[in-house]
Amino acid sequence: MLALGKLLELTLAGHEPAAKIQLTPEGTRLRWLAEGALEVTPPVAVDNGLDLLLSAGVHGNETAPIELLDRLLRGIARSELKPRARILFLLGNPPAIRRGERYIEQDINRLFNGRHEQHSGAEAMRACELEHLAAAFFSKPERTRLHYDLHTAIRASKIEQFALYPWHEGRVHSRRELARLNAAGIDAVLLQSKGSITFSSYTYAQLGAEAFTLELGKARAFGENQQVNLDLLEARLHGIIEGREPEQDGAGLDGLQLFAVAREIIKHSDAFRLHLPSDIENFSELPVGYLLAEDVAGTRWVVEEQGARIIFPNPKVKNGLRAGILIVPSDGAYLA
């Protein structure tokens, strides 16, 4: 196996490889770009015009997606996977990955779309570097751009594998991309309706990629992900990488649950109180009239929407950040 296929091993050890470029016997090029960043380029004769960005480890303790990317890259380095797409593998936060922690000082996934410019420290610099790596990768004209940013959640979820689909003015969510996710084992998609500061929102809004944050189960330590079944996603990624993916059409949405954002719960001060059990699961339903949260100056969030559910409740976020999202079912009327 080519040594550059051991990107995770190099990253965990904090080593920079001596050889920055290696070729498989078929002519696929592996090129080390920076810590945790490796570009795969297929031979020109088989390149199908897809640029695929696969990122994981933006939160360092989300190991199942990191292990998935490791398996894919090792398969390419052994010539077991023969790419027809250009691929950029990114391990987002190497110091946090080495320590098995979500982040060291700042949540990198709240530092994109220019937010890193308002902060200092290593993680703000890494968010800036990730933006530059993604922008350089997606700079080639007239190519298809796809980004999957792979995560696992802090808490358990009533819907274990789901996606967040970013929003940008003038763009419409793609029925074909949703069908692809459905075939990859994703059970629900949150169709966002405003801009965000996450990595997938950056590549969607600024770089024109189809981009998704994929939540793939609960965060666990390396080697403890037997309960996280990523077989369907892994098989679909094999097909995307090798250009042998079956064609999807809009009919492939059967069973996929769609949701829209009703409101974001923003923590304004240290007085913020979230009135939910600490072990509440993502996608838990909340009754109309439920007092969800309170903050300074008499600010109250009361559930008004029928069928409302909560995702990502976290009262420990820093002031000014989102402490939860209230979502409602969507009919997907505006899909293209």
Active-site residue, selected from the candidate residues 210, 215, 234, 242: 215
DSSP string, 108-155: GGGSTTTGGGG--SHHHHHHHHHHHHHHHHTTSSS-EEEEEEEEEESS
Give the H/E segment covering residue 204.
helix 199-207
Q: What is the DSSP letter of 100?
A: T
Establish whether 105 is a catalytic residue. Answer: no
Q: Is 303 left (phi over 0), alpha (psi -120 to 50) or beta?
A: beta
Q: Are 173 and 336 in contact (CB under 8 A)?
A: yes
| First-last CA distance in the chain | 42
184/241 Cα distance (integer angstroms): 14
43/112 Cα distance (integer angstroms): 33
Q: How many Cβ atoms from other residues are within 10 Å of residue 315's Cβ?
A: 15
Question: So which residues are the catalytic ones?
Answer: 215
